[in-house]
Amino acid sequence: MTSSALTRPGERSRAIVKFAEIDWTLTAVLCLLAGCGGLMLYSVAGGNLKPWAEPHLFRFGLCLLLMAVLAMVDLRVWFVAAYPVYAIGLLLLVAVQLVGKSHLGAARWLQFGPIGLQPSEIMKIGLVLALARFYHGLPSASARWSWWLLVPAGMIAVPALLVAKQPDLGTAILLAATGGAVVMLAGLSLRAIAVAVVGVVPAGWVVIKYLMKDYQRDRILTFLHPENDPSGSGYHILQAKIALGSGGILGKGYGLGSQSQLNFLPEKQTDFIFATLAEEFGLVGCVSVLALYAVAIVISLRIASLSHSHFGRLSAAGVTATFGLYVLINGAMVMGLAPVVGVPMPLLSYGGTVMLTVMIGFGLVQAVRVNRYEEVSSGAGGLL
């Protein structure tokens, strides 16, 4: 057998070097977060691995392997894939409007035989990649303030509106906020940011008044006054607040949360798992988990800052922004500081599609780390 039939020694050594360059501290933090999720899912199931804890940990194991594989992918391959991934995500979002599978009154899925696909999850990665590629070849002066800004504005608005129409307000907000974060990190001028901030209020009023469905508008009003309908639309927020407050400093103890164990807390395994954590482990448990999220965000931003390519910096920072927004929106939602919009706590909540998206994103962050000294040309080094 010739040497060409196997991996050449030089290629093997390069692969080993790349594998060693993975940020293992970040990997450990992600494992700790997923492990905390497994513990909480075991608790809310009444001390059983099924139906949530076992699948959660098994999926994370597979996603961890996928992250390691994606970390080895050349950054130029990510660059080449940016626009195609965005275009595929956009086409699938359009397909959802036409033939999407409806669940609980919302059409968010495409069904391919036994496999269900949520195109908005693809778009979370595709939007970051596409914006990073667009700004990679754009002069800094144009990124600060120019007519070129209409292009990324359209790239963000189209998928966000399609997702909002499904309707999926939480993901639409996440896409718009992530896109805005990438645009600002790309060098948007302070004047433009100030204009955008001032325009948020009237734009939000228009969206609430004319574009939202009645139940979505009720969520906004309920967020402001949940006590007006304690057994109806305000139930989620009030029960979450009870769980948060009853935990105190040290919590009631593992598996002893009355709100979750007695099923007062809705969606205890997904959107409101952080409330369960607060009830059982108190302020100390919440701060500890939030500290893990903060460490993951800081490490990821540092990886972004070390990249020699503009594409690498923006893509890693964009993924980190998405991850941070998950944590911020879910935490605010559970504490009654934001409307209930169906955004889970990443790696803590039960849900395979969100976990897959998050870990693919961290695969991209790790790829930026592994290839941080690599320059990416506009032609992707001849890969196009």
- Domain-located, residue 228: yes
Residue 223 located in a structural domain: yes
- Whether residues 173 and 296 fall in one domain: no
On whether residue 5 sits in a domain, the answer given is no
Whole-model pTM? 0.89
Contact 243, 278 (CB under 8 A): yes
DSSP line for 168-220: -HHHHHHHHHHHHHHHHHTT--HHHHHHHHHHHHHHHHHIIIIIS-HHHHHHH
Same-domain pairing of 306 and 229: yes
On whether residue 4 sits in a domain, the answer given is: no
Residues 251, 282 within the same domain: yes
Q: Are 342 and 163 in contact (CB under 8 A)?
A: no
Residues 242 and 155 in one domain: no
CA distance 178 to 358: 13
Radius of gyration from C-alpha coordinates of the chain: 22
Considering the domain architecture, whether residues 281 and 362 belong to the same structural domain is answered as: yes
In the listed set 204, 236, 256, which residue is the last one of a domain according to the structure? 204
Out of 169, 204, 239, pick the residue that ends a domain: 204
pLDDT at 5: 43
CA distance 77 to 91: 21
Distance of CA 138 to the CA centre of its chain: 26
Q: Which of 131, 133, 134, 121 minimizes the C-alpha distance to 92?
A: 121
Kindly state whether residue 56 falls inside one of the protein's structural domains.
yes
> Residues near 49 by Cβ (< 8 Å), separated by ≥ 6?
42
Indicate if 101 and 249 belong to the same structural domain: no
- Whole-number pLDDT of residue 2: 42
Q: Are residues 190 and 293 in the same domain?
A: no
Three-state SS letters, 116-150:
EECHHHHHHHHHHHHHHHHHHCCCHHHHHCCHHHH
Answer yes or no: are the C-beta atoms of 42 and 56 closer than 8 Å: no
**Contact call for residues 172 and 161 (beta carbons, < 8 A):** yes
Same domain, 220 and 365: yes
Is residue 312 in a domain?
Answer: yes
| Whether residue 219 sits in one domain with residue 368 | yes
The parent domain of residue 153 ranges over 85-204
Please indicate, yes or no, if residue 273 is contained in any of the structural domains: yes
Q: Residue 238 is which amino acid?
A: L
Please state the domain count of the chain: 2
- Please name the residue ranges forming H helices in 225-378: 235-247, 258-261, 273-306, 310-334, 352-370
- Determine the Cα–Cα distance for residues 76 and 15; give it in Å rounded to an integer: 16
| Cα(106)–Cα(104) distance, integer angstroms | 6
Same domain for 220 and 160: no
Residues 268 and 329 in one domain: yes
Domain boundary among 175, 204, 233: 204
Q: b or e along 156-190 (b: 16 or more beta carbons within 10 Å of the residue's beta carbon)?
A: bebbbebbbebbbbbbbbbbbbbbbbbbbbbbbee
Report if residue 326 sits inside a domain. yes
Helix or strand holding residue 37 (H, E): helix 24-44
Binned average pLDDT, 10 residues per bin, the chain of 384 residues = 46 74 96 97 93 96 96 94 96 87 66 76 95 92 86 94 87 93 91 81 74 70 72 80 90 89 84 94 96 98 95 96 95 87 92 92 96 78 45
Could you give the dihedral angle defined by the CA atoms of residues 262, 268, 272 and 276, in that order, rounded to the nearest 10 degrees?
50
Q: Do 248 and 307 share a structural domain?
A: yes
Q: Report the pLDDT value the prediction gives residue 4, as an integer from 0 to 100.
A: 43
